[in-house]
Homo-oligomer: A and B are copies of this chain.
Amino acid sequence: MLDYNLAEKGELSLYEYLYRRIRDDIVSGVLEADDRLPSKRSLAQHLGVSLVTVEGAYAQLVAEGYVRARARSGYFVNALPGLPVRTALVQRSATALPSGVVAPAEAIPKASEDSGELARLWSRALRDALANEPESELFSPAPPQGLWRLRAAIADYLCQTRGMEVDPSCVVVGAGAQTLDNMIVQLLGHELTYGVEDPGYPRLTRLYRANGVKVVHVGLDGEGVRMDEVGAACPDVMHLMPSHQFPTGRVTSIARRYELLGWACAEAGSRWIIEDDYDCEFRLAGRPVPALASIDATGSVIYTNTFSKGLGAALRLAYMVLPGQLMERYGTELGFYSTTVSSVQQVALARLLESGAYERHVARMRKRYRELRDEFADVLAKSGLADRVRMEEADSGLHFVLAVGTSLSEEELVARVAGPGLSPMPLSSCACLPKNRTAPDGLARLVVQYGSLDSEAISAFGAELSRALA
């Protein structure tokens, strides 16, 4: 029977502690593939915790692919492709880790009550910084990688919300994700082949092509990017959105994560993964799957993230975390680049992170997105379309996929339902290769970005959809 000392849980909830201990036992091999976990009821009795606590921990393990549930026979440990694992991750079971954070969003927040709140928060942050910080900090040029203070605040934030151990000296701040992506090409090399997910984020393909490098497209299955296609396309670099793939919303399973790390580590030093964690803060249900960067033992993962989702796209501020050997190369080859973010903005953001105001703000946004999503589900349920329409991947903020049974094409459907308040995108428009443009189940799929909507727009959309499918 699994035996954990609950007194060691620290500040974690019982559910979270239990989930982490079992996960760590799987990762470290204490629990092996196909081992059967104790039944929920018996483990609850054994540990003296409520059944709900165990249920929550098991559900999370299933969601992340560590464990599978078999009807009427219980829970079994999944096989994880073998890979050296950072000991830090294994040992760091009950220390400060993810609080209530989680997954994704692509929509640029548009003018709405929501963007009003972003504006007030950022405006206040700038005014506070101007009023309270010394001129020498606000108006002296920041170092190429960004102010140490901001990099340290980002490292802390990643530790608290994402469970990542990050050295601030490996953080590089830049004026938006694209600026950093361009820098990554210069760092890794123009002679490499860059792989992107398909369907994916079409601008990424354009960015790599503008850099004059070869781009290949790799299809997806239910667990993430297809390894057979990775093998066939032979990229040197895979640019992935494992937390919440855009546009499909899919979460890369833990097994697939290890396969990807295994792929990279088979040619360590010449194969790389760019982990684009753009909306990890807006997971609405369940816990986030560990970042690839946090379980990368060979230094093959470049982690990138942005503050555009949390603070709006008008603020150009993103960052990357480089593995050690690339950090050295950055210093030697790209250290001549000046930072692309003004010192004032770096200080203002550092203050928001240090005070916890940013995390509170994200929690408020998450709550609002959850309400909007639930409202959406409600409207669809009441529309009488429940048998023809399904919300997919709706556990992450700001966008979900709406699967629709219809003879209309995705483009035709969009043309009928798009209104001034809400204009979904055909999922197929995000695919580059023809074979990735149609789903095997024949359903039409729309990408719905709902972060800046209100109740009225959601009702109107429901009505349009009913008309279109009538």
Residues on A facing B (Cβ under 8 Å): 108, 111, 115-116, 118-120, 122-123, 126-127, 130, 135-136, 138-142, 175-176, 178-179, 182, 186, 189-191, 202-203, 206-207, 210-212, 312-317, 333-334, 336-345
A383 to chain B, nearest CB (A): 33
Q: Given contacts A141-B313, A186-B211, could you give 17 more A-B pairs where the C-beta distance is less than 8 Å?
A: A115-B140, A118-B139, A122-B139, A126-B126, A139-B314, A141-B314, A175-B340, A175-B341, A190-B212, A207-B336, A207-B337, A210-B333, A210-B334, A314-B344, A316-B340, A317-B342, A345-B345
- Find A126's partner among B122, B130, B140, B142 (CB 8 Å cutoff): B130
- Find A178's partner among B118, B139, B203, B337 (CB 8 Å cutoff): B337
**Residue numbers in B under 8 Å from A338 (CB-CB):** 176, 178, 313, 316
B126 touches A344 (CB 8 A): yes
Q: Which residue of B lies closest to A108 (CB)?
A: B141
Q: Give bound CA distance, A333 to B212, whole Å.
A: 12
A119 touches B139 (CB 8 A): yes
- Find A141's partner among B130, B312, B337, B345 (CB 8 Å cutoff): B312
- Find A138's partner among B313, B314, B336, B342 (CB 8 Å cutoff): B314
Q: Which residue of B lies closest to A118 (CB)?
A: B139
Query: A142-B314, A175-B341, A316-B339 are known contacts. Are A116 and B135 too (CB-CB below 8 A)?
Result: yes
**Residue numbers in B under 8 Å from A313 (CB-CB):** 141, 338
Q: Which residue of B lies closest to A136 (CB)?
A: B111
**Residue numbers in B under 8 Å from A122 (CB-CB):** 139, 344
Q: Give bound CA distance, A135 to B312, whole Å.
A: 12
- Find A343's partner among B120, B189, B314, B340 (CB 8 Å cutoff): B314
A455 to chain B, nearest CB (A): 22
Most chain B beta-carbon contacts within 10 A, residue among A126, A127, A342: A342
Most chain B beta-carbon contacts within 10 A, residue among A108, A123, A316, A336: A316
B336 touches A316 (CB 8 A): no
Q: Give bound CA distance, A34 to B250, whole Å.
A: 76
**Residue numbers in B under 8 Å from A140 (CB-CB):** 111, 115, 314
Q: Give bound CA distance, A164 to B106, whole Å.
A: 41
**Residue numbers in B under 8 Å from A316 (CB-CB):** 175, 338-342
B337 touches A315 (CB 8 A): no
10 residue pairs, one from A and one from B, having the closest CB atoms: A190-B212, A119-B139, A175-B340, A175-B175, A141-B313, A314-B343, A119-B135, A186-B210, A203-B336, A141-B314
A112 to chain B, nearest CB (A): 11
B138 touches A123 (CB 8 A): yes
- Find A336's partner among B119, B120, B206 (CB 8 Å cutoff): B206
